[in-house]
Amino acid sequence: MVRPTLLLALLSLACRREAPAPVSGESVPVAHAPRVATDAIRVDGRLDELPWRAEGTGAFVHPGRGAPAPESRVQGRAWFAWSATHLYLAARVGDRNPYAPFRPEDVDPHLWERSSAVELMLQPGDFGDNRVYYEVQADTVCAKWTTRFDDYNHPRSMGPDRRQHFGHEEWSPAIGCAVHAGSDGYTLELAIPWSAFVEGARTAVPPRAGDVWRANVYSFRDGQRDSLAWSPLRGRGNFHFAPRFGRVVFDG
């Protein structure tokens, strides 16, 4: 587990508990996702395209307190974009010595336990109630862990191999991924098809211009002992707590 101040039972992947009650009118950060043509973004990890020059999320912060964490090795920021076919996420992380022990073809490796990686939490629609949300983790060789949850950290089960399973790990969409590493860290791009979110959707998929979805983005390494967030938890729940997810506005 992590430092108590990080609450990184944010791995509450480790133990399920009920979500804290949302706070009415709770303020969370907002990011804008520009709409692009279907062929406008080349998923190569280089972030050359125009959408990645915008402000995006701004700098990540301490996942609990919400303050800058200059001592962290995973300083980062992220950007969103969308097309008729995909949701795009780009992240730049200042981890100069990332660790990636898995292979891209590994099936749902536990990246949060060992890898340097980026984590996306996504809830279609502006509900913030923890019903039907998705998690995508990708490390610096594009090993990926993907799942869908019905509710806060739920379901969780033990497989016949005595291995813990979190959410519906059979949710494994064809996600485009690319990473480019440099002397000052790495950049990562993901392209997630809208078709991945159609089943069970409570909102329009793909979204319409002006729609808002909930999301959070984290950078981490060292078993999440070192981690930062776009939208901090401020002492409420763990990485899965949807009322603390930021808002992504889909621009036209």
Task: Give residue 211's domain range.
Answer: 4-10+28-146+172-250
3-state secondary structure of 52: helix
How many domains does one find in the chain? 1
In a domain, 79, yes or no: yes
- Is 21 among the domain residues? no
pLDDT in tens, 198-238: 988 999 999 999 999 999 999 999 999 999 999 999 999 99
The verdict on residue 241 lying in a domain is yes
CATH number, residue 76: 2.60.40.1190
For 137, phi and psi rounded to 5 degrees? -115, 140
Using CA atoms, how far apart are residues 182 and 88, in angstroms rounded to an integer?
A: 21
pLDDT at site 12: 39
109 touches 145 (CB < 8 A): yes
Within a domain: 192: yes
Give CA separation, 47 vs 56, 187, 233, in Å: 12, 8, 28
| H or E stretch covering 248 | strand 246-250
> Does residue 19 sit within a domain?
no
Residue 206 belongs to some domain of the structure: yes
For residue 138, being part of any structural domain is answered with yes
Q: Could you report the per-residue pLDDT of 237-246, keeping only the tens digit for each?
A: 999 999 999 9
Please report which helix (H) or strand (E) contains residue 91, including its range.
strand 86-93
H helix and E strand count, the chain: 1, 13
Whether 164 and 156 have beta carbons less than 8 Å apart is answered as: yes
The stretches of the chain forming alpha helices (DSSP H) are 111-114
Q: What pLDDT score was predicted for residue 160?
A: 83
Task: Write out the E strands in 102-234.
Answer: 117-123, 133-139, 144-149, 156-158, 164-166, 176-182, 185-193, 212-221, 226-229
Question: Residue 144 forms beta bridges with which residues?
Answer: 138
Give whole-number Cα distances, 230 to 28, 57, 127, 154, 245, in Å: 10, 7, 18, 23, 9
pLDDT digits (tens, 9 = 90+) for 2-50: 443 343 334 333 334 567 766 555 799 999 999 999 999 999 999 999 9
This prediction has a pTM of 0.91
Residues 228, 155: Cα–Cα separation, whole Å: 25
Residue 154 belongs to some domain of the structure: no
